[in-house]
Amino acid sequence: MTENELLTLAMSTANRLKRFACHLCGDADGAEDLVQEGFLRALASRAQLRDRSRALPWLLMIVRRLFLEHHRRVERQSQLLEEDARLMDPPIGNLEEEMLRSTLSEEVSRALAALPEEWRTCLLLREVDGFSYEEIAQIVECPLGTVRSRIARARAQLLISLHTYAADHGIDQGARR
Amino acid sequence: MSCPDFESLSAEVDGELTELEAAAVRSHLDGCDKCRTRRIELLMLQGAVRDASVVPLASDGFKARLLATVRKRRRALALRVGLGLAAAAAVAALLLPLVHSKDVVAELVGDHLGTTVTGEEPFDVVSSDPNVVERWFEGKLDYRFRIPRPTPARLLGARLCNVGRRQFPLASYDREGRRVSLFALGTAAGSGQGACQEGVRGFTVCRQAAGGIEYMFVSDYPPPEAKRVLATMLSELL
């Protein structure tokens, strides 16, 4: 892949790159710095990219690697959480779409932010960017089965948080396990 | 079938189960209120997560920074090459055939594209005055890059593009709302008729020698028109 092809890719996916980095580091300015640094590294190592159709996941993988290099502590915390966590069975209740989009929208954001980075990254790559599990596995550099497990755990944890919040605030009366 | 585990339901809403697994889950859902409710919640959660994940769009300044990253890297590379090659002239002569390779043309077309993808002008010299631009190139090339003054086109600026170990000057014009680029590929014998190729990374590329320089013109005009525009631009240089 030539420099210009990589540049064209980065320009055409600038919003996706920034969004991904923003979800990693949590602020818009830091996200732009992270993408720029990742892009520079991608330019230097573009010969390693064998499959051009996988260029975007490859670029995202580099951005995430950089983030983890800068935040080793976060990575270790996530690994500990993941090792300890067992997939819980979330309650089933009467959460409604309108409720999720209005009353609980802030709680969704809070619950997302509270997830381990690896769970949140896998979930957002799926929900927001629409990547397949196989592509996500490439980006986060883990087996496909781990991606499937992380996404499920992230969703389970979100549902638990939302049901708990709804029950505490008298919104979700019908939750059951 | 007993109720599928949460992970299987999660993968089912993502369409990530095998056909056999998905068929089994769907069959179970038909007769299980609890799992149907859980699946509906998973679908609603997808929308809620998307809504909660909106971040500001990338600014034009951000895109310009990406572009600047490439240019800075190329300059550093060119400097290293320049310092390391004592016999630069001989090497340049050896590399001259590169000018005619498809890869080099594709790279230069990419530079043309690079001038169009951001709102900011990625030029080394920004001027609508051809004299200013010609003076900027003095001493940077081993030949004189003469800048045509075509009408109705308006000169926007110019830059040096690095491809491989060579530098190619680029002059960028706005011609009736279309961005067109004129490169000089090096010295050539005399003048000649233009030749065009369509569909090079989506653009039309025309080449023509004039006044001892081989020019390359990149635009989105169809070949006959591109050839005519280039000929008109270069006619004043003869």
- Closest-CA residue to B128 (of B173, B181, B175): B173
CA dist B236 → A149, B58, B165, B185 (Å): 68, 43, 31, 19
Are A23 and B11 inside 8 Å of each other by CB? Answer: no
For chain B, what percent of residues have pLDDT higher than 70? 81
Confidence of residue B118 (pLDDT cuts 50, 70, 90): very low
Is pLDDT above 70 for A175?
A: no
For chain A, what percent of residues have pLDDT higher than 70? 80
- Give the bridge partners for B213, in sequence order: B187, B210
Which of A11, A25, A123, A172 would you mutate first to test chain B, the one with the most B CBs within 10 A? Answer: A11
Are B118 and A3 inside 8 Å of each other by CB? Answer: no
Q: Which three-class secondary structure state does DSSP give residue B14?
A: coil
Is pLDDT above 50 for A33?
A: yes
End-to-end CA distance of chain B: 84
Overall average pLDDT of the A32-37 stretch: 88
Per-residue pLDDT at B234: 86
Confidence of residue A174 (pLDDT cuts 50, 70, 90): low
Contacts of B114 in chain A (CB under 8 A): 4, 7
| Dihedral pair phi/psi, residue B197, rounded to 5° | -130, 130
Looking at domain B60-235, which CATH architecture does it have? Answer: 2-Layer Sandwich (3.30)
Is pLDDT above 90 for A78?
A: no
Which of A4, A25, A120 would you mutate first to test chain B, the one with the most B CBs within 10 A? Answer: A4
pLDDT in tens, A105-142: 788 889 998 999 899 999 999 999 899 999 999 999 98
Overall average pLDDT of the B200-224 stretch: 85
Overall average pLDDT of the B27-46 stretch: 90
Per-residue pLDDT at B56: 75
H or E element, residue B24: helix B19-30
Which residues neighbour A80 within 8 Å (Cβ) at sequence distance 6 or greater?
none
pLDDT in tens, B74-96: 666 655 555 544 333 333 333 33
- Closest-CA residue to B46 (of A27, A22, A89, A158): A158
For A1-70, CATH number? 1.10.1740.10
The shortest CB-CB distance from A11 to any of B52, B53, B117 is to B117
* A33, two tokens: 């710095």
| Dihedral pair phi/psi, residue A21, rounded to 5° | -65, -35
The pLDDT mean for chain A works out to 82
Radius of gyration of chain B (CA): 27
Are B46 and A133 inside 8 Å of each other by CB? Answer: no
Residues of chain A with CATH 1.10.1740.10: 1-70
Is pLDDT above 70 for B10?
A: yes
Peptide bond into B152 cis (omega under 30): yes
Q: Give CA angle at A23 (A19, B65), nearest 5°.
A: 45
> What interface predicted TM-score (ipTM) does this complex get?
0.83
Contacts of A97 in chain B (CB under 8 A): 44, 47-48
Are B11 and A148 inside 8 Å of each other by CB? Answer: yes
Per-residue pLDDT at A149: 93
Cβ(B12)–Cβ(B22) below 8 Å: yes
Cβ(A136)–Cβ(A127) below 8 Å: no
- Closest-CA residue to A86 (of A177, A164, A153, A155): A153
Per-residue pLDDT at A126: 95
Question: pTM of the entire structure?
Answer: 0.59
Per-residue pLDDT at A169: 75
Contacts of B42 in chain A (CB under 8 A): 155
**Which of A55-59, A63-67, A96-100, A144-148 is predicted least confidently?**
A96-100
The stretches of chain A forming alpha helices (DSSP H) are 3-12, 14-25, 28-44, 55-70, 72-84, 97-101, 105-114, 117-127, 133-140, 144-168
Overall average pLDDT of the A19-45 stretch: 87
Overall average pLDDT of the B172-186 stretch: 87
Per-residue pLDDT at B154: 87
Confidence of residue A25 (pLDDT cuts 50, 70, 90): confident
Per-residue pLDDT at B101: 66
Across the beta sheet with B178-187, the strand order is: B154-163, B166-175, B178-187, B213-219, B203-210, B195-200
* A68, two tokens: 């983890």
In Å, how far is A14's CA from the nearest CA of chain B? Answer: 6
Is pLDDT above 90 for A12?
A: no
Residues of chain A with CATH 1.10.10.10: 76-177
Per-residue pLDDT at A87: 55
Per-residue pLDDT at A72: 64
**Which of A75-79, B39-43, B67-71 is predicted least confidently?**
A75-79
Class of domain A76-177: mainly alpha
The pLDDT mean for chain B works out to 79
Overall average pLDDT of the A18-44 stretch: 87
* DSSP type of residue A54: G
Please tell me which residue, B109 or A94, carries the higher pLDDT value: B109
Overall average pLDDT of the B120-128 stretch: 72
Domain boundaries defined on chain B: 6-51, 60-235
Tokens 């397949």, located at residue: A132
* DSSP type of residue B2: P
Across the A:B interface, residue pairs with CB atoms under 8 Å apart total 146
Is pLDDT above 70 for B148?
A: yes
Per-residue pLDDT at B23: 93
